[in-house]
């Protein structure tokens, strides 16, 4: 992933229109938008270096599993390992949470508490490093997203990191998402879809591709209940843990197309006016033409190839929606997850998001108005 500056990129203001249909956007505006009506995306996928490499590498789910394995190796050297004889990356979050809940005085729980504390120290360090970067210096609140916080282990680590930051006189609080973690990378698309298109329809399709899981769902805008989309809701969702199946790049796209077709059929059955729009959130730097510049090392196959264009590849596999070809738009997954919090961040001017998943995603924002 390439380092981004703290300044928003300029995007074209030109739009082409059809008199009898929704507003169409130029190619420059179609992907990776940074200037939105309610917020500016100051930067994302920021790579902060320290003496050991990239600071963010210390605060991902992958880093937590590696840390757990290191602690287990040290225990084994003393003759014991309280966990099953599998690598730490194979232990499920449910198994780890169960250990904390039911075996509080066990050797395994004791080891796990030590790992949680060390990971919390790493997360607090990463937060402090980010806050020194130009695009993060004014940040007043940080939202923590990604799959890690949805576990008891992850939640305890974040709470401990918050306490550590408070002790260090860091006045920027850590906050949790206002909705289910699985929904964050989907709900954010209501702030990126063409506004005119939203007016003519009830719902959109959204996709969140991570290094471990692929999620897609139907997002109902519910704009009549709240114009700021604070009442937007994922009414139907599908989830595929693709890391277990280890598909090829084309295999992943084929499966995604099948999942989306099922959601399209669901909308027809329910009488929902589905917009001919699909938003895809994925790791990495997204170019304006919808190609991916860097940061997709956790995805299957080569997603950064000059000959690969996910929006085109996917749209060819999908049927017309509302008698129109599907518009597919791309953006970074941390950016989209952060945008799901826009309605709940109006009391601050500057804020950021850290998504703790297979890797550590990040984005920072400035509210307009």
How does pLDDT run across 227-260, given as a tens digit for each residue? 999 999 999 999 999 999 999 999 999 999 999 9
pLDDT of amino acid 171: 94
- H or E segment at 351? strand 350-356
Could you give the domains of the chain?
Answer: 49-176 (no CATH), 181-335 (3.30.420.40)
Say if residue 196's pLDDT is above 90.
no
What does pTM read for this prediction?
0.87
pLDDT of amino acid 104: 67
What is the rounded CA–CA span in Å between residue 309 and residue 330?
10
How does pLDDT run across 119-167, given as a tens digit for each residue? 999 999 999 999 999 999 999 999 999 989 889 999 999 999 999 999 9
Nearest to 336 by CA among 223, 144, 191: 191
Angle at 285 between CA 287 and CA 337, to 5 degrees: 110
What is the rounded CA–CA span in Å between residue 125 and residue 103?
30
pLDDT of amino acid 29: 54
What is the rounded CA–CA span in Å between residue 156 and residue 64?
13
pLDDT of amino acid 54: 85
How does pLDDT run across 269-311, given as a tens digit for each residue? 999 999 999 999 999 999 999 999 998 988 999 999 999 999 9
pLDDT of amino acid 52: 79
Q: What is the mean pLDDT of residues 336-347?
A: 96
């Amino acid at each position: 992933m390439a380092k981004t500056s703290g300044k928003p990129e300029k995007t074209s203001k030109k739009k082409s229109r059809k008199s009898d249909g929704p507003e169409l956007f130029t190619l420059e505006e179609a992907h990776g938008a940074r200037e939105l009506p309610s917020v500016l995306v100051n930067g994302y996928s920021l790579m902060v270096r320290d003496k050991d490499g990239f600071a963010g590498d210390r605060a991902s789910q992958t880093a937590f599993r590696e840390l757990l394995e290191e602690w287990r190796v040290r225990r084994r050297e003393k003759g014991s390992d309280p966990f099953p004889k599998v690598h730490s990356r194979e232990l499920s979050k449910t198994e780890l949470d169960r250990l904390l809940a039911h075996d509080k005085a066990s050797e395994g729980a004791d080891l796990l508490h030590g790992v949680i504390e060390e990971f919390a120290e790493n997360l607090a360090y990463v937060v402090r490093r980010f806050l020194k970067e130009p695009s993060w210096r004014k940040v007043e609140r940080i939202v923590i997203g990604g799959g890690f916080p949805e576990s008891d282990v992850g939640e305890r680590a974040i709470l401990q990191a918050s306490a550590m930051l408070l002790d260090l006189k860091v006045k920027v609080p850590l906050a949790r998402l206002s909705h289910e973690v699985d929904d964050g990378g989907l709900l954010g698309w209501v702030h990126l879809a063409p506004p005119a298109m939203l007016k003519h329809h009830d719902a959109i399709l959204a996709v969140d591709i991570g290094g471990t899981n692929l999620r897609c769902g139907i997002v109902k805008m519910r704009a009549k209940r709240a114009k700021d989309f604070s009442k937007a809701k994922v009414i139907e969702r599908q989830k595929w843990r693709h890391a277990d199946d280890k598909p090829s790049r084309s295999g992943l796209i084929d499966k995604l197309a099948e999942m989306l077709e099922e959601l399209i059929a669901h909308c027809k059955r329910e009488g929902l006016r589905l917009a001919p729009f699909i938003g895809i959130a994925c790791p990495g730097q997204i170019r304006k033409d919808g190609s991916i510049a860097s940061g997709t090392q956790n995805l299957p196959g080569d997603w950064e190839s000059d000959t690969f264009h996910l929006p085109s590849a996917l749209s060819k596999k999908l049927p017309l929606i509302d008698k129109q070809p599907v518009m597919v738009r791309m953006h970074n997954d941390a950016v989209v997850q952060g945008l799901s919090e826009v309605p709940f961040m109006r009391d601050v001017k500057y804020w950021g998001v850290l998504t703790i998943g297979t890797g550590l995603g990040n984005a920072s924002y400035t509210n307009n108005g």
